[in-house]
Amino acid sequence: MTHIHPHRQEIRRGILIVMFLLFPVSMNYFSPYVIIDGASQGVANGSLFVFGLLFLTSLLLGRAWCGWACPAGGLGEIACVANNQPVNGRKLDWIKWLIWVPWIGIILWALISAGGYRQVNLTLDTVGGISLAGDADRPVIFAYIIYYLVVGLFLTLSLTLGRRAGCHAICWMSPFMILGRKLRNIKVWPSLRLQAASELCSNCKTCTSHCPMSLDVNAMVQKGVMENDECILCATCVDGCPKGAIKLRFNAGR
Ligand code: SF4
Ligand code: SF4
Ligand code: SF4
């Protein structure tokens, strides 16, 4: 069949690669540490706003950020060149909550100890807005160490466990989006979603074998339930289905 969006996946992967290459600039705006540093000084920093934005955009776009723009997601997809094994999400997905819940607790504790936010500094712990930089107070070597630790951790998980394993197991950002889409589902707000026509499906399982989040997309199509916490709305299944059985739609469906 002729795909409606023949180059969409190349564009998506291109954006992810560019975002990963820009990670030395952007790292501190996604940082689980800088938000604590800011809270302990009563400073609302860039990560606070980015995490808030991820939650808000997830009300409309689910986890499209993960599928289309996240630097660590880009690294995860680059690593697929070396290890494209699907991962067992059920074994990994819960681990991130063990990280996220205490981390939120630490941020709140730091914030309460500081007496709340008193000022805004979106470029906190950067030099001129650039994360991988040093100044008189913070030698650049520390920024490099953190950068390579983060990249090394995500890369090691992908290379050892498989496709986007870090996204499943350790990501501190995805819970904001998962909670956002749960709220959206409860409220039945319209948003970007997958929609499937099971009667068109030939059970070829192309969608399942190519899903970057290792979801059993074929089973989701057969059940007619396309909502899944770990779906990143990358549209790989949409663009790869030879029967056109899966669509991306903006609506209030399941
Ligand atoms: S799960 Fe986390 S690391 Fe992976 S793409 Fe989403 S935000 Fe990025
Ligand atoms: S790729 Fe399309 S036809 Fe094949 S299993 Fe998935 S939904 Fe069904
Ligand atoms: S189910 Fe489809 S849109 Fe969702 S992550 Fe898998 S391939 Fe991407």
Confirm if 29 and 50 have CB atoms less than 8 A apart. yes
Question: For residue 5, what pLDDT band results from cuts at 50, 70 and 90?
Answer: confident
Burial class of residue 85 in the structure, from the number of CB atoms within 10 Å of its CB (0-12 exposed, 13-18 middle, 19+ buried): middle
CA of 67 to the centre of ligand 3 (A): 8
pLDDT in tens, 36-80: 999 999 999 999 999 999 999 999 999 999 999 999 999 999 999
**Domain co-membership, 209 together with 237:** yes
Which residue among 156, 183, 210 closes a domain? 183
**Domain co-membership, 69 together with 195:** no
- Give the per-residue pLDDT at 84: 97
CA of 237 to the centre of ligand 3 (A): 6
Which residue among 159, 183, 207 closes a domain? 183
% of residues, the chain, pLDDT over 70: 98
Indicate if ligand 2 lies below 6 Å from the C-beta of 203: yes
pLDDT in tens, 93-147: 999 999 999 999 999 999 999 999 999 999 999 999 999 987 767 788 989 999 9
Q: What is the pTM of this model?
A: 0.95
**Domain co-membership, 58 together with 174:** yes
**Domain co-membership, 27 together with 138:** yes
DSSP symbol at 213: T
Q: Which of 12, 193, 215, 249 to mutate to test the pocket of ligand 3 (most atoms within 8 A of CB)?
A: 215
- Give the per-residue pLDDT at 3: 60
**Domain co-membership, 75 together with 121:** yes
Q: Which residue has the tokens 């199509």?
A: 221
CA of 194 to the centre of ligand 3 (A): 8
**Would residue 215 count as lying in a domain?**
yes
**Domain co-membership, 54 together with 144:** yes
Which residue among 183, 201, 220 closes a domain? 183
Distances from the Cα of 246 to the Cαs of 12, 135, 213, 218, 243, in angstroms?
18, 51, 16, 10, 8
The least confident of 3-17, 157-171, 207-221 is: 3-17
**Domain co-membership, 70 together with 179:** yes
- Give the per-residue pLDDT at 137: 75
> What average pLDDT score do residues 218-236 get?
97
**Domain co-membership, 26 together with 87:** yes
**Domain co-membership, 179 together with 78:** yes
Confirm if 233 and 62 have CB atoms less than 8 A apart. yes
* Structural domain of 205: 190-251
**Domain co-membership, 200 together with 165:** no
**Domain co-membership, 144 together with 247:** no
Atom index in ligand 2 nearest the CA of residue 200 equals 3
**CATH number for the domain harbouring residue 224:** 3.30.70.20
**Would residue 1 count as lying in a domain?**
no
